[in-house]
Amino acid sequence: MLTTARIKEDLQPNGLDWISSLRAPAVRALVDSGALQLSIFDVKDLAEITFHEFPGERLMACKNPLLAAERKRKREELLKATQAKLDKIVEATKRTKRALKGKERIGLRVGKVIDRAKMGKHFRLVIKENSFRYTRDEPGIAAEGALDGIYVVRTNLKPADITAEKTVATYKSLSAVERAFRSMKTVDLHIRPIHHHLESRVRAHVLLCMLAYYVEWNMRECLAPIMFDDDDKKAAAQARLSIVAPAVVSPSAQEKAATKRTPDGHPVHSFQTLLRDLATICKNRVRPRMTNGSEFDVVTKPTPLQNRAFELLEVPVNA
């Protein structure tokens, strides 16, 4: 969302600090200009650089080998799938009966194939009136592959304010924001689009969404010991080789995932299943059959797991 235009037009005039990342063409420009030497990743996975096109900014170049391998695998799968479909078009132009002819008709068929997987840039196409052939653009594929796993984080914050490692960690925490949106829209809160026409109502709706998620976030933090969530993030951070490397989970979280049990023997829950379990606690209104008896409330007796959940939330069961 933080494009260069938004930074220049919205953030800088208002004196706001920011952390964003460069898009692929800008990363390629860094490599082509020599500002980013790919050989630097032979000895480390994070390097802070500068570039004249981004004055007053810091650039943190990172390379994740696992991400590079995954992108290479996915690209090759898409290339092979696209080739298989292009081969069918080649065969269609060579049929003895009802052969595919006409540059326009062939072009339409080819366009549908390469647009679907966005692989057109990796093929050289030759479309004629009665024939079609293609070849892979191997130099182009190799050039794109050289940047696999590489991303560049940018910020206007000074080194005295935040280190390069912390900058990358903060940028990668964007995944938490994405999870929050999924939680609000589809997974937990199920907040459907509401079409407001007044600015005050839009702001109120957004505020309620954020407050609801803030309550959920606090509950998840408190209930982590009895859920699959990692409840020992400090140990997980210490086991991580570097901030660029993929995140790891703590030994306690691995144990919960393997045994499906907490250290005190309770079954491990997800947030949704735990809420369903807690929802079985009911407050019943009792009305004695005696004519002079007064009504009173009785709360169903919670299970040991439910008691543990309320202890972690620091909420009385009868609240």
Dump the DSSP string for the chain: ---HHHIIIIIGGGT---EEE--HHHHHHHHHHTSS-GGGGGT-SEEEE--TTSTT-EEEEEE-HHHHHHHHHHHHHHHHHHHHHHHHHHHHHH-SSS----HHHHHHHHHHHHHHHT-GGGEEEEE-SS-EEEEE-HHHHHHHHTTTTEEEEEE---TTT--HHHHHHHHHTHHHHHHHHHIIIIISS--------SHHHHHHHHHHHHHHHHHHHHHHHHHGGGBSS-S-HHHHHHH-S-SSSPP---HHHHHHHHHSB-TTSPBPB-HHHHHHHHTT--EEEE--SSTTPPPEEEEPPPPHHHHHHHHHHT--TT-
- Determine the pLDDT at residue 106: 93
> Which residues of the chain fall below pLDDT 70?
1, 189-190, 192-193, 291, 318-319
**Where do the structural domains in the chain lie, given as residue ranges?**
4-64+149-162, 67-144, 173-319
In the prediction, which pLDDT does 63 show? 94
What per-residue confidence (pLDDT) applies to 107?
Answer: 93
pLDDT of residue 266: 86
Structure confidence at residue 123 (pLDDT): 94
Q: What is the pLDDT of residue 264?
A: 85
**Per-residue model confidence (pLDDT) at position 203:** 86
Q: What pLDDT shows up at residue 233?
A: 86
pLDDT confidence of residue 193: 66
Put simply, whether the predicted model's pTM sits higher than 0.75 gets the answer no
